[in-house]
Amino acid sequence: MTTPAAADFLVEIGTEELPPKALRGLMLAFAEAFATRLGEARLAHGRLAAYASPRRLALRVTDLARAQAPREIELKGPPLAVAFDDAGNATRAALAFAEKCGVSVDALGRARGDKGEWLVHRRVESGQAAAELLPELVERVLDGLPVPRRMRWGASDVEFVRPVHWVAMLHGTDTLHGTVLGIAIGAHTHGHRVHAPRPLRLRSPADYPGLLERDGCVIADFEARRARIVAGVAQAARDAGGTPCADEALYDEVTALTEWPVPLVGRFDDAFLELPREVIVATLTAHQRYFPVVDGNGRLSPTFVAVANIESRDPAQVRHGNERVIGPRLADAAFFWAADRRSTLEARRAALGDVVYQRGLGTLADKSARLAALAPGIATASGAAPDTAARAALLSKCDLLCGMVGEFPELQGVMGRYYALADGEPEAVAEAIGEQYRPRYAGDALPASQAGQALAFADKLDALCGAFALGQKPSGNRDPFGLRRAALGVVRIAVEERLDLDLCALIDAALELQPVAAAPGTADEVYEFIVDRFRGLCLEGGEVSSEVFEAVRGRRLPSLSDMDARLRAVVAFVGNDAAESLAAANKRIANILRQAGFSGDAEPQTALFEADAERQLYRSMRRAREEVAALLQERRYGDVLTRLADLRRPVDRFFDEVMVMVDDDAVKQNRLALLARLRAQFLDVADISGLSIGKA
């Protein structure tokens, strides 16, 4: 009986409970890295499916080759001039090469290239068996997974994210041999700790998900388990008369905590509904991974949906246990809510001086003072009252000293808003305090109030300038202070809210306020760091190409909002019929001026014009300059480029009929001045000479 050339493959790594917030990422990284390794090992395969549950990471690969594909190897030998003497006899060099290859000189081939002809030996190398390669390949993939902190267990030096208890590996119906992470490879998996604690024999990779679900009470497919949780939670909430209130991250985390999810409804005391909504939601979700339930009007109800990891014979007992846990949690929150309001935010300001914000950057009081100095100027641009922004800045960090934020750090700012309102602060001040950390993550909402926009912008810019002044800018994947996120927040607030802010001046002001002197060039570094984030955001959207962005970036504009307006104008201009011709002309002009070393800005002298084409171009340019002056003032950049597109014909005619680099130096310099003026008109919007429009 012959062995098939390919068969399905399965690997399962059984562990102690894996970190829930990292589980999905580990699963995807495992699959991606394994597919890459298979390609490097020349092992052909079909579809790859990834599985993950709290106690396992697994992969199933269809039609994985039994052996590496054979490959032709070519060994390069000496040049023919060295390999043979004048009589055509093999030299010592040829004989030594043939002996190394294990063949006679006559069996060697020849190859020709740009540098001549030489001897070669070609042979076909048979592939190694997959069964011999796969255990080591799997271990290398596991060693390279993005695990921030690894563990050791027992007396072994082996490290992994959690202790490993079993490894199953099958290729077809064959169990592979060897060890992975110090564990002998077998053909058994393990089901649910309670419902199916005994080992389960795997007969083939195709049996894996079905066997675990049928006999092991484990839904190994992460996405299938998540879908069951989403549907089950929604149904349980409907049964309770409402709908679940949770973000996608909570569904992911609960999926990573359960192998056999069973939703059930619980209740808490109605009196706790007097707490701020965010406090109740944080207590249920962050502490207990429960799903809050809201009624038809969007109001929180005194019910929640918990997802148990067990199908109990007595669901009421499980429900009661969950209710017993959440009651004390909410009682603690109620205590903090009452205790924190006994003191005002203003009364806590003095204590900010006792809390270090960041080593080298002073205390929270220093941070608040810097924000109070920065925010008013930003507020003016956003249309907010400067004194409102300043007051919000001074109180912005006071809630960090409150008990509620100590228990729920994710509620910083949110609780500050509630406490400011309780203290009788103006609503605009309270709203700004509540919005100061927005956007917290990609896709998060921006501050809705104008004072909130000013404070959030100031907070992020201060964080950036402080870190850069200390020399703590991000490197590689390391960004411990979240500076990339802060820079994206600066970009989004300025661009999406159309705030015409002088970023360069604000960076200088923020650096001047820092308690540490910044090195020369730091302001430029901060500016470029922020613009790089803007570039990434634009390219990610797909509407702006790298060339278009660089065409605008080259102007080094102080306003991100102004940059955005120019980008949109250039994107529209690229679709203009004249764009390709004008971009090519601008590139040609830039090259001519650079090669000539011309840097003047004098007005061309009409008396030195010799050709009608240069006179026509000059007249067309002057008319265009007069017409676009008002458009530039109003930042109607699309209309500016549309008007400048009318210069296409006189520009094309100029280059067809006029020689710039003539012998007469006065005429040459005058024509260079004309081209410099033309280029300056386009540079008023962007440097379109870098656009390769119409090229493949």
- The CATH number of the domain where 11 resides is what? 3.30.70.260
For the stretch 462-506, pLDDT in tens is 999 999 999 998 887 788 889 999 999 999 999 999 999 999 999
Selected residue with higher pLDDT from 630 and 234: 234
Amino acid 1: pLDDT: 35
Section 605-624 average pLDDT: 90
Amino acid 693: pLDDT: 65
CA distances 626 to 86, 600, 602, 619, 632, Å, are 81, 21, 17, 11, 11
For the stretch 97-150, pLDDT in tens is 989 988 888 888 888 887 788 888 888 777 889 999 999 999 999 999 988 789
Q: Which DSSP state fits 286?
A: I
User: Do 256 and 212 share a structural domain?
Assistant: no
Q: Which of 266, 256, 236 is nearest to 309 (CA)?
A: 256
User: Do 256 and 189 share a structural domain?
Assistant: no
- Would you say residue 284 has pLDDT above 90? yes
CA distance 329 to 479: 33
Q: How confident is the model at residue 256 (pLDDT cuts 50, 70, 90)?
A: very high
Q: Which two tokens stand for residue 555?
A: 């102007």
Amino acid 4: pLDDT: 65
CA distance 348 to 339: 13
Selected residue with higher pLDDT from 684 and 308: 308
Amino acid 115: pLDDT: 78
Kindly report the CATH number assigned to the domain that includes residue 599: 1.10.730
Full domain range(s) for residue 106 = 71-125
User: Do 57 and 89 share a structural domain?
Assistant: no
Q: Which of 67, 51, 44, 55 is nearest to 205 (CA)?
A: 51
In a domain, 562, yes or no: no
Q: How confident is the model at residue 678 (pLDDT cuts 50, 70, 90)?
A: confident
> What's the structural domain count of the chain?
5
The mean of the pLDDT values for the chain is 92
Report phi then psi at 188, rounded to 5.
-115, 140
For the stretch 7-24, pLDDT in tens is 999 999 999 999 999 999
User: Do 326 and 360 share a structural domain?
Assistant: no
Beta-strand pair 300-308/262-267: antiparallel
Section 371-380 average pLDDT: 95
Are 534 and 556 within 8 A, CB to CB?
A: no
CA distance 482 to 462: 13
Rama region for 345: left / alpha / beta (φ>0; ψ in -120 to 50; rest): alpha
In a domain, 695, yes or no: no
Last residue of a domain, one of 340, 373, 390: 340
Output the 3-class SS for 544-560.
Answer: CCHHHHHHHHCCCCCCH
Length of the chain, in residues = 696
CA distance 63 to 460: 51
- Would you say residue 287 has pLDDT above 90? no
Section 540-560 average pLDDT: 89
Q: How many CB atoms lie within 10 A of CB 257?
A: 19
Last residue of a domain, one of 286, 310, 340: 340
In a domain, 564, yes or no: no
Output the 3-class SS for 75-113.
Answer: EEEEEHHHHECCCCCECHHHHHHHHHHCCCHHHCEEEEE
Q: Which of 177, 186, 179 is nearest to 130 (CA)?
A: 177
Percent of the chain with pLDDT over 90: 66
Section 374-381 average pLDDT: 93
Cis peptide upstream of residue 439 (ω within 30 degrees of 0)? yes
Kindly report the CATH number assigned to the domain that includes residue 481: 1.10.3210
In a domain, 557, yes or no: no
The gap from C-alpha 103 to its chain's centroid, in whole angstroms, comes to: 55
CA distance 616 to 208: 79
- Residue by residue, DSSP assigns 121-176 as EEEEEPPPBHHHHHHHHHHHHHHTS--SS-EE-TT---EESS-EEEEEEEETTEEP
- Would you say residue 424 has pLDDT above 80? yes
User: Do 417 and 529 share a structural domain?
Assistant: yes
Last residue of a domain, one of 168, 195, 216: 216
Section 637-655 average pLDDT: 87
Q: How many CB atoms lie within 10 A of CB 329?
A: 19
User: Do 250 and 200 share a structural domain?
Assistant: no
CA distance 583 to 579: 6
Amino acid 696: pLDDT: 33
User: Do 473 and 358 share a structural domain?
Assistant: yes
- Residue by residue, DSSP assigns 214-229 as HHH-----HHHHHHHH
Amino acid 472: pLDDT: 92
In a domain, 555, yes or no: no
Q: In what order do the strands lie in the sheet with 109-113?
A: 71-79, 116-125, 109-113
User: Do 388 and 484 share a structural domain?
Assistant: yes
User: Do 666 and 616 share a structural domain?
Assistant: yes
In a domain, 572, yes or no: no
Which positions ≥6 away from 148 have C-beta within 8 Å? 22
- Would you say residue 578 has pLDDT above 80? no
Section 625-639 average pLDDT: 88
Amino acid 641: pLDDT: 86
Q: Which DSSP state fits 695?
A: -
Q: How many CB atoms lie within 10 A of CB 60?
A: 22
Rama region for 116: left / alpha / beta (φ>0; ψ in -120 to 50; rest): left
- Would you say residue 695 has pLDDT above 50? no
Percent of the chain with pLDDT over 70: 99
User: Do 512 and 641 share a structural domain?
Assistant: no
In a domain, 33, yes or no: yes
User: Do 37 and 144 share a structural domain?
Assistant: yes
User: Do 503 and 615 share a structural domain?
Assistant: no
For the stretch 346-368, pLDDT in tens is 999 999 999 999 999 999 999 99
CA distances 297 to 243, 245, 277, 280, 510, Å, are 10, 12, 14, 17, 44
Are 211 and 239 within 8 A, CB to CB?
A: no
In a domain, 553, yes or no: no
Output the 3-class SS for 298-317.
Answer: CCEEEEEEEEECCCCCCHHH
